[in-house]
Amino acid sequence: MVGRRSYDCPMRWVARRVRITRVWFVSHLQRKMPDMQRIPTENTATGTVLEAPRLLETLSPSRASDFKACPQLYKFRSIDRIEEPPNEYQARGTTAHLALQRIFDLPAVERTPERLFDLFREAWMDVRPVEYADLFAGVEEERRWGIESLEILANYFGVEDPSTIEPVERELDMLEELGGMTIRGILDRMDETDEGLVITDYKTGKAPPERYAIPAFFALKIYALLIRRRTGRTPAKLRLLYLNGPVVYELAVSEAQLDAMERQLAALWSVIDLAIRNDRFPTRPSRLCDWCAYRQLCPAWVQPVQEVAALPMP
């Protein structure tokens, strides 16, 4: 069962004394690895080197979630490698992640709202010229986004006190072999508590209704599986910390859950591998299409008539 905790965070946490004339956003660059590989073969009759069918090489929790949501979305991101235009929501999320990572580099007594805001601005200055120079039309638009971002970020202090937390891992880059699968990803944070290991994932968007919370734990269950593989320990709890609210969803973890997750992941790997071999990625139209950056390219919306085929899903 998912536990939900809502918090009432007064706006006093927002640093009204801080003069904001520009807004800074940071992009956290995740190490990119290929999701598939091509194995060359030789035509014995002609001696020509041919390209064999592609094989799934690695899979991340994010890309696994993409395929579950829509195989065509997975193809756009992982196979075609079509870059999505940056938007202010991605900018806010990535910057907040980096600021929340860096705050634990400070001595406990310095982990204050003002310092977190400073870290947010510093992070933005690191990457803005490279990736987000054209994100905003002007200074005022950027400033508005910055104020909104700091207001959301301020909610963090209504959820937990970072001066009392010493994470055992932050932004942990993981690459693990699981039953013939290579799973990769970056875990936001892991703490050692009286209950055991607790994995926390930061979200800057709004929390889904509680009845839809379970699917949101899909990626975190995969990270819990990777932690069990690496350390031999099963995490005690998973936490989704939604700053825009704020709301925290918590889910207790058991050995049986992770065993089931490993079976589900293996089945999903097989389905993705089959899709890659056959170059067959059906569309799965839904309300999420309204926010998809690839809608103008998607066969479900570009073609007048699109037969939506179904792939077996684990």
Q: Do 136 and 184 fall into the same domain?
A: no
Count of Cβ atoms closer than 10 Å to residue 37 Cβ: 12
DSSP state of 303: S
**Per-residue pLDDT tens digits of the chain, which is 314 residues long:** 676 766 665 444 433 333 332 223 222 323 344 565 554 444 444 454 445 446 899 999 999 999 999 999 999 999 999 999 999 999 999 899 999 999 999 999 999 999 999 999 999 998 788 888 999 999 999 999 999 999 999 999 999 999 999 999 999 999 999 989 999 999 999 999 999 999 999 999 999 998 888 999 999 999 999 999 999 999 999 999 999 999 999 999 999 999 999 999 999 999 999 999 999 999 999 998 999 999 999 999 986 544 445 556 66
Which letter does DSSP use for residue 123 in this model? H
User: What residues form DSSP beta bridges with 6?
Assistant: 247
Could you say which of 164, 194, 225 is where a domain stops? 164
Q: What strands, in cross-sheet order, belong to the sheet with 2-6?
A: 2-6, 247-252, 237-244, 196-206, 181-193, 169-178
Tally Cβ neighbours within 10 Å of residue 167: 17
146 and 181, same domain (yes or no): no
Q: What is the CATH number of the domain that holds 247?
A: 3.90.320.10
Of 169, 190, 185, 173, which is closest to residue 222 (Cα–Cα)?
185
Specify the residue for token string 């956290």: 28
Q: Could you tell me if 98 and 24 are in contact, meaning their C-beta atoms sit under 8 angstroms apart? A: no
Clarify whether residues 178 and 160 are in a common domain.
Answer: no
Cα 67 to Cα 75: distance, rounded to the nearest angstrom:
8
Q: Are 145 and 176 part of one and the same domain?
A: no
Of 164, 192, 219, at which residue does a domain stop?
164
Residue 235 to residue 254: CA distance in whole angstroms: 8
SS (HEC) of 276-301: HHHCCCCCCCCHHHHHCCCHHHCHHH
Count of structural domains, the chain = 2
Residues 232 and 106 occupy one common structural domain: no
